Amino acid sequence: MKSIEYARETAYNPFYPEMMRIVRRYNLTDDVRLFQVRPPDGKKTPSVEYRPGQFMMVSVVGTGEAPFSISSSPSRPGLIEFCIRKTGTVTEALFRLKENSTIGVRGPYGNGFPVEKMVGHDLIFVVGGLGAAPLRSLLLYVLDNRELFGKVYFLHGAKKPSEMLFREEFFSMCERDDLSCFLSVDADDTGRWPARVGLVTCLFSEVKGVTPDNTYAVVCGPPAMYKFVIAELLKLNIPKHQILMTLERRMKCGTGKCGHCAIDYIYACLDGPVFTYWDVLHMRELI
């Protein structure tokens, strides 16, 4: 007779989390931490196959679960990375865990970025604050497949130097010849910030020579940022259906079953979290 373990291993249950080990965790800012996780040694799982822009449901046993974007790139297999801000019950429990602790992970969920359609195009990334979490995955993917894309601009803004996520990583990217990387802070409280001071929109003056019809823009950041960034992208004549944005809604199941993320006739967990500006114009509630 087949054992319960055999049934568990062979029956696909989308709500059954896979236990993964926290290999490393370190602070990116005072309240944002990067978690590098991997399946137990030697175990191959379908869940590690994902595309940039997808998210996973992460759980702490006895506390609960919440959705988090995948910050690592599928082009760098082995570890899955989550960049998590401490905001409430689940994230506080995650921050209490030490390296080698196990967490539950299910997914990946959501549509992710249409990377196949983006091939051959110029790309403009516009990132604010925690928006770096999903967009870092796409940026690393693009850099690892650099020959497939045209010009790549990466514009990243933070409130102040200590709040810029992946600061060292992005500063080292600014040295690359195949990437136009520009960083800004709203205010420099250190007096030693070596890049631009101003809102992220001030970096648009660096974007030169893109062909609008052949360009995809990718935007993720705090809600207040979208209106101004979209205005800049429209000034560059980027078509509305080629402006992509990843948006958050409250989610529970992640699989289109509970209705928590429903907006009109769409489920943000299935049809999103990546939407085009065209989608957003027809569903104002999205932002």
Ligand X SMILES: Cc1cc2nc3c(=O)[nH]c(=O)nc-3n(C[C@H](O)[C@H](O)[C@H](O)COP(=O)(O)OP(=O)(O)OC[C@H]3O[C@@H](n4cnc5c(N)ncnc54)[C@H](O)[C@@H]3O)c2cc1C
Residues that bind ligand FES (CB under 6 A): 251-254, 256-261, 267, 269
Residue from the set 48, 84, 155, 280 that interacts with ligand X by CB under 6 A:
84
Binding mask 235-264 for ligand X (x = CB under 6 A): -------------xxxx-------------
Nearer to ligand X, 210 or 251 (CB): 251
How many chain residues are in contact with ligand X, going by CB under 6 A?
20
Rounded-to-integer distance, Cα 218 and Cα 226, Å: 11
In the complex, what is the shortest distance from the CB of residue 226 to ligand FES, in angstroms, rounded to a whole number? 22
Contacts of 256 (CB under 8 A, 6+ apart): 267, 269, 270
For ligand X, the binding residues in 114-133 under the rule CB under 6 A are 130, 133
In the complex, what is the shortest distance from the CB of residue 219 to ligand X, in angstroms, rounded to a whole number? 15
Rounded-to-integer distance, Cα 287 and Cα 218, Å: 15
When asked if residue 105 is in the footprint of ligand X (CB under 6 A), the reply is no
When asked if residue 88 is in the footprint of ligand X (CB under 6 A), the reply is yes
Torsion of CA 114, 119, 124, 130, to 10 degrees: 40
When asked if residue 107 is in the footprint of ligand X (CB under 6 A), the reply is no
Is the separation of the CB atoms in 171 and 103 below 8 Å?
no
Residues at the contact surface with ligand X, assessed by CB under 6 A: 55, 66-69, 83-85, 87-91, 130, 133, 248-251, 273
